[in-house]
A and B are shown apart, each in its own frame.
Chain A
Amino acid sequence: MTHPVIPVIDTARLMLRGPQPEDYPNFKATFASYRSRFMGGPLNPYEAWMLYAAEIGHWEIRGFGMWMIHDKVTDETYGMAGGWQPAGWPEREIAWIIWPDKAGKGYALEATHAVRKHYYANGWDGAVSYIDPKNLDSIRLAERLGATKDAGAATIDGSDAVYRHPAPGALVDSQLAHGIEMEIGHYADPMFKPKGWALD
């Protein structure tokens, strides 16, 4: 049996690794909570376990999937981010979820920016994110990543909005790319003030 080697992705503050059995408790806590209401939750313990196992199986079936987001220093987990395309998904998705008590620190931005860069460097020519229209935090993140609502794109089941990510070329040495890097830099170092730039 062949299985994909899941690459490790390093960012300023984070290390992204394939989901492991020992990472399960945090996943379960989040999917048991109201936090997961836009991702098919809340789930009971049985359903949460089955979904976590499916996250692992997704890597095997598709060759890509969701990484577990770890703190680079403490190894603590903050959530998941990666590529997602189960049956019925019209296109390949960039998806993310951050544990409720870890939100607001820019981890999702830093992780999704890194996984998108990874997939773009490995043959993807684009991606979408399927987002519940009521999930304002995720819509805001999609926009910070440069994604725009694509009203004409096929949805999963009609209840989701499709946000289309910029093509790989639009992230090379562009104002958008610099803006994302700068926002991430500011989260990583709150004292960070680039010369010659007015912040806010």
Chain B
Amino acid sequence: MITLSGTLTLHTERLTLRAPHPRDVDAFIAFYATERAQFTGGPMTERQAWNFFGTEIGHWVMNGFGMFVVTHKGDDAPLGIVGHWYPKTWPEKEVGWVLFDAKHEGKGIAFEAARVCIDHAWTALKWDTIVSYIAHGNDASVALAKRLGAMLDVDAAQPKPDSPGYVYRHHRGAA
């Protein structure tokens, strides 16, 4: 019997981070159809994105943690997904972030969500290391990683050695 261990919800001043739900699948597919998804494995076809959404849910079952859907407090509409990501073959555990729509950028939403996830990873999940894998050219995410106090680690192992990217390493107490 499947029981999702990720019924956990995190809260920040303005945001709610909850587990992904089937009702989020359309927003997820819509984002992955856009060029905005180019730095996170997209753009994808509807079929690919649907499967990937299934993977987001299954990740919770496989690992006991996963990516949260981020919403404004009191509004269930998904703004993006932020959280903990560690698929098989990933060299290290990651905190990652995606905002579905450019109109939500520049308001500190990803920062606020990523910061609570980093804190949760250190304190509740007891992770020893945290990295963020960022594609070359994704300047907005590099800026956010730096704002979170992460530093480029050029010696770190790459999750996809065939298409290397930046590895930003988070440090306890930095964010």
Taking beta carbons and an 8 Å cutoff, which residues of A are in contact with B?
1, 3-6, 8, 17-21, 24, 44-46, 48-62, 86-88
Chain A contacts for B140, CB-based, 8 A:
none
User: In the complex, A88→B47 CA distance in Å?
Assistant: 6
Q: How far is the CB of B112 from chain A (nearest CB, A)?
A: 22
Query: Main SS of the interface on chain B?
Result: helix
Say yes or no: A3 contacts B62, CB within 8 Å: no
Q: Is B106 an interface residue (CB 8 A)?
A: no
How many residue pairs bridge A and B at CB < 8 Å?
97
A53 and B47 contact, CB distance less than 8 A: no
Please provide the chain B residues from 82 to 98 with a CB less than 8 Å away from any CB of chain A in the complex: 87-89
Q: Can you report 8 A-B residue pairs in the complex whose CB atoms are below 8 A from each other? A: A1-B7, A18-B2, A45-B89, A53-B59, A56-B57, A57-B53, A57-B55, A57-B57
Known contacts A1-B19, A56-B57, A61-B22; 6 further A-B pairs (Cβ under 8 A): A50-B51, A50-B87, A53-B62, A54-B52, A61-B25, A86-B47
Given A60-B54, A86-B50, the answer on whether A21 and B1 have CB atoms closer than 8 Å is no
Overall SS of chain A's interface: helix
- 5 smallest CB-CB distances across A and B, nearest first, come from A53-B58, A57-B54, A87-B50, A49-B88, A57-B57
Residue on B nearest A54 in the bound complex, by CB: B54
Contacts of A20 on B, CB cut-off 8 Å?
2
| B79 close to A (CB within 8 Å) | no
A170 to B40, CA, bound (A): 48
Given A50-B87, A61-B25, A88-B47: A56 in contact with B1 (beta carbons within 8 A): no
B62 x A21 contact (CB < 8 A)? yes
Q: Which residues of B contact A56 (CB under 8 A)?
A: 2, 54, 57-58, 61-62
The residues of B that contact A88 with a CB separation of less than 8 Å are 45-47, 50
**CB neighbours of A59 from chain B (8 A):** 2
